Structure 1
Amino acid sequence: MTISLTDDGMCFCCGQNNPIGLKLAFAWEGDDYVTYFTPGAVHQSYAGITHGGIVSTVLDEVMGRIMSSRGIPAVTARMEVRFRHAVPTGERVRFAARIVRERGKVIDASATAVLADGRIAAEATGRFLVHAAPASSEETAM
């Protein structure tokens, strides 16, 4: 199976064509690559609390997107999340990522989810593998 990293606008986090997607936007703020997300009731687990899988998904996305912003095609190989505080629904959360280390085709990143009051709700570390696109049929024929 060949993996293609083509963006067709349907990404759950950032795809503008996905009718149930989060439609996140990303930007640099100093050394941080960030997105802001206000989870709603449709993103909850217990009443008023955002599902941890949604928080993890946005942490993964902001780490992956930092590489895309630099033109590096990479995929998540491993991720670890530590939850510190519940993320309430209806509250704007700042998700920020940084690249920690680059070694050949392996890139390590970290990310945080910060509540409006400044508390870190969750933090993640991730290992990403740079994806080399397979040679096209024209390149292979040469």
Structure 2
Amino acid sequence: MSDGTPVEVPWRVLPDYSCFGCSPSNEHGLRLNFTHAGDGIECVLRVDRTFESYPGVVHGGIATTVCDEIMGNLLVLKIGTSVFTTTLRTRYLSPLAVGVSYRCAASAEDLTAAPYRAYAEITDPDGAVCVTAVGTYQPATAEQVRDRMDLTEGEAELIENALAGLRPGG
């Protein structure tokens, strides 16, 4: 379970940080807030009808997005390097309902060599597992981040400094 300590993702150093998953300033996004939970992180997912597919049912792509978001951020926090998703497999055990608070938790094992693997699950208020996901992630060098992300040199430096503080000995 969560120890309640908020997680600060390194992207928040950017003045126009607009991540669909976790930016608090993206009015069209999910605005996920991560907290530490043992060796992993977790968040609460509660969405309105903006994110539904069938009436009253959360779109499956939203559930997958949340899993990818939490797994990727967990790895970034653990290894102190940006990562890009290379594979993502989601299994839906039961639909998520609009307006219900779900818990999404992420964990990772064996961070000694890339690509890294992470796991996520979304559980309902009774603790029943509704969605599971497993993803693999490739770390990116500072140069790859500059090439693949729309960053100015100053923004790239802000991100690299934030990531360096997460690295062992950083």
TM-score, normalization by structure 1: 0.85
Q: Is the 8 A contact 1:59 1:112 kept in 2?
A: yes
After superposition, where does 1:100-139 map in structure 2 within 5 Å? 100-134=109-143
| Whole-Å separation in 1 of the counterparts to 2:110 and 2:86 | 15
Shift of residue 105 of structure 1? 2.9
Q: Please state if 1:82 is matched with 2:86.
A: no
Runs (4 or more) in structure 1 with deviation over 6 Å come to none
After superposition, where does 1:1-142 map in structure 2 within 5 Å? 8-70=16-78, 71-134=80-143
Gaps of at least 5 residues in structure 1 are: 138-142
* Alignment size in residue pairs: 133
Shift of residue 103 of structure 1? 4.5
| Whole-Å separation in 1 of the counterparts to 2:103 and 2:118 | 17
TM-score, normalization by structure 2: 0.72
> Secondary structure of 2:143's partner?
coil
Q: Is the 8 A contact 2:23 2:29 kept in 1?
A: yes
Partner deviation per Cα, 1:15-61 (whole Å, 9 max, x = no partner)? 12212111111111122310111011111111111000000000000
| Whole-Å separation in 2 of the counterparts to 1:123 and 1:105 | 22
> Secondary structure of 2:142's partner?
coil
Q: Is the 8 A contact 1:64 1:74 kept in 2?
A: yes
The alignment-based identity, stated in percent, is 29
Q: Is the 8 A contact 1:101 1:109 kept in 2?
A: no
Partner deviation per Cα, 1:85-135 (whole Å, 9 max, x = no partner)? 110111001010011233533100110001111111100000000101118
| Whole-Å separation in 2 of the counterparts to 1:60 and 1:77 | 11
Higher helix share: 2
> Secondary structure of 1:96's partner?
strand
Higher strand share: 1
> Secondary structure of 2:109's partner?
strand
Q: Is the 8 A contact 1:110 1:126 kept in 2?
A: yes
